[in-house]
Structure formats: C-alpha cells, structure tokens
A and B are shown apart, each in its own frame.
Chain A
C-alpha cells in the first residue's frame, strides 16, 4: 500500500461521513462558498439509513437532501476510509488500496453509528446478521423474497428493517423487541407531542401488516451446524423455537467514536462532547449526528446544518434558529432511549463457551475473571482482531461495564508498508 501524493487533497471544510448529518453539513458549508470535501468509506453517499437511495430516494426527507447535495459544489470522496491523523490539520486515508493525505481548515465528523450486537449461543453462525446488516445486504443485491426472517433485538430500527424486508418479499416470522410493552406504551403516549412521528409509526405498522410484533421477548440461542436453521426465543417464562433462513438481530445503536477519539476530542457517556455550535473540545473540529449521541434522523440533519454553518463561517446569527429545532429533536431522542433501555437478562445470554470476541474467538468464560477492557485485551486477546474491538468492545461495555479506553491509529486495518514513511515526515508520530 503506497502513499499516492497525486491524490492528496486540501479543503476549507472536510466532512467525514456521507450519511444525513454529513450530507446536511456539506450542503450548508458549500452554500457558504467554502471548498468542501465529503468522505465516506462506502461506495456511495446516503449513510446507512439512505443506503442506495441517491438515485431513488424512498422518502421526502431523503429526496430533499439528495437534491440539495446534487445542486451543491463539493468534492465527493466515496470508498475512502480515514485510518489516522498525520499531523494536526491532515488526516491519512485509504482508497482502493492506496494512501492519501487529506488536509483541512475545519473538520466535521459525522461518523454515524453501528449496531450493538450482544453475544448469545450461536450468534456467530452464518445468516445471523444485524437488523441493519441484513437490510444493508438486501439493499445491495441480496434477494430476500421468499426467505423467512426473524427480526429481534431492540429499538425502532427493528420496525423499519422489518417493513423494508417485507416490501422486498421476505416472509417475516415475527418481530421480537426486548423492551417490555409497558415502556413502549409510555413512549407511544409521548408521541402525541410529535404528530409527524405518529404518522411514521402508523405507516410502519401498516407496511408490516399482520406480522406479529412482540414486546418483552428476546433471542436466547441461534441453532444450526454450518448455517442458521432456527432461533430460540424467550419472554422470560417459556422458551420457543422459530425456523428461519435469517435472524436479523441488533440491540440498538452505538456511536462510532474511534475517529473523534484519536483526534483528541473528549468523549462523554453518550458520545462526542460538543458545544451549542457542535464544536468538539478540539478547536475547528466539529461533530454532528449519531456520533454526538444516538438521536435519529431529524437530530442528525439539524446537527449537520449547524456544524456546516459553524465550520464554514463562524457562528452566524442567521443559523441560530436551528439550535431550538435541534434541542427539541434531542429531547425526543432521550425519551426514545429510555423506552428501549436494555434489560438485565441480556447480560446473561452467553454461556461459558459462547464466543464474545468474534475476531479472536474469545469465549465468555475466558472473560469472567477479567477486571477491565485492557486486562481482557492483554490476557485473552479480546478486541485485538481486525474489527479492533468495535463489536466486542461495545458488547463488553454493556455486559461488564468496561470502558474501552484509548484508541490508537490506524483505526482500521491498513497495509503497514508505507505507514512508517508517511509518519516519518510528520512532527508527531501517533503510531
């Protein structure tokens, strides 16, 4: 892997992440007349929620943002993954096997969120996927028609995924939400203050039709030899089995914080800490969307716009009205968070031989006596594989309360051949 100097780029505002927050930030900063670059590690823009929708948006909101982006002047850098910081103001990125340097005056981190996966017996079997994971594959060409699917885990994403899969012809064998009905009803009542959310919820229920949505139930085992055959579920009293081709299972979302962390941004309990204009604790580095704390689409769009204004032209008064909209969306997100809080039983699904770290195949039993994330890494290699603890780190944070601690570059696996050369020319050597 070689540093390709001809592909080095320099921007006034560099946006990392092409989901709703990053797209909104790009449109806004570009509208202020700044030279803007938009980086995403996926082949196309849209993020997870609008994956594959650039040419055919599925909602009015997506259509508006894609159209605005189409009219904006900026440089898109898809298929490009940030791996580290070369020096303040310059990031190292990898694209199609070569390394490039991306420089900026202001940086907007819109790194989004990933699904929280929790270990239970059989969860490593092929065809056990994330809820968003199966949806992403279905959007990228996996035929799902006629396949039977169990959707399980937690959060509003389950309904959206189920509706999408059903539309594509999947046979839904049930949606199982771990949160108890009582909490969901409370949340449902809270929706009366947000009429647009009610219509969204009704719309999703309508699309899912007669499919069973069951609250207070969760998976305890995925059964199969070389591939998934069935799922065992429980409501805490009895256990039953459902045959299926796919289990789409995620327990909510966790923010992607690796990049903010290596840039030195302070991280709070929910995500990257930002001020009222979305600036992190590092000057000229902004953060917007799920990476500041999971909060959904509306919040991401408001945060992206605010960050775009602030990064492009200071803190313009004309954008101040956005702060109120953002704060309202944030309150809605907090209520959602409480309703889908994870139950304690989920901490005890893994047996001693159930793999927790999927990269290094570290079983739950090996982690039982460990006292911290660092202790677990050093003693068991937990979190030391290619995903760099992104999956098991989030899981053990919930299971054991371990903090992941410091993050070191490169934040994604990258060929080492020329990393040394890149960093040898920089004042600070973070490797």
Chain B
C-alpha cells in the first residue's frame, strides 16, 4: 500500500485502503460480503451501490444507518458492521 493510504478501523480492526475507497468497498475487502443481518436474520451486503437500497448501511463514526457505498474512507474513521 503506498504512503498516501488511509488508516481506519472496521469493527476495531486497523486497516489501510487507497484514497477514494468507499467504506462499502473497504468492508468487502477486509470483512467480506456479509455487512449485516436483516430483520429476520438473513445475511445482507451491498446491492445498489448508489445509496438507494440501504442494504449496506453501517455505523460510521457513531452515526447509525450510514450508506457505506456513499461514504469515502477518511483517516481515523471508525466503522462498525452489524455482523455478530
């Protein structure tokens, strides 16, 4: 990873990504395709990639229900998924 990489945490795990990487892409890279559980407990990950479906919603810097596909990774960002 080049020096301009961005350091953030996903569920407490320290990771580095290239500048411009979306949180959704970062979670897919480091955590895998399951982002959260649906209301009946089925696994879910990103669907629309454009902030419409809310399937990729995560808690980012303490704010719940953020669309991770529309959020660009920032230095020091804390991302929390809903995967037990």
Contact = CB atoms under 8 A, between A and B. Distances in A.
A97 B62 CA distance: 11
A127 B42 CA distance: 13
Interface residues of A, number: 43
B43 A226 contact: yes
Contacts of B55: 358
A128 B46 CA distance: 8
A169 interface: no
Contact of A361 (B17, B32, B38, B46): B38
Interface residues of B, number: 38
B49 A136 contact: yes
A228 B33 CA distance: 9
A126 B82 CA distance: 14
A227 B83 CA distance: 13
A96 B72 CA distance: 12
Given A127-B33, A133-B50, A227-B34, A43 B71 contact: yes
B52 A124 contact: no
A248 to B, nearest CB: 10
Interface in A27-53: 41-43, 48, 52
Contact of A137 (B24, B34, B43, B51): B24
B67 to A, nearest CB: 9
A272 B24 CA distance: 32
A359 B36 CA distance: 12
A124 B43 CA distance: 8
A413 interface: yes
Interface of B: 17-18, 20-22, 24-26, 28-29, 32-35, 38-40, 42-55, 57, 63, 65, 69-72
Interface of A: 41-43, 48, 52, 79, 81, 97, 114-115, 117, 124-130, 132-137, 140-143, 226-228, 256, 355, 358-361, 385-387, 390-391, 413
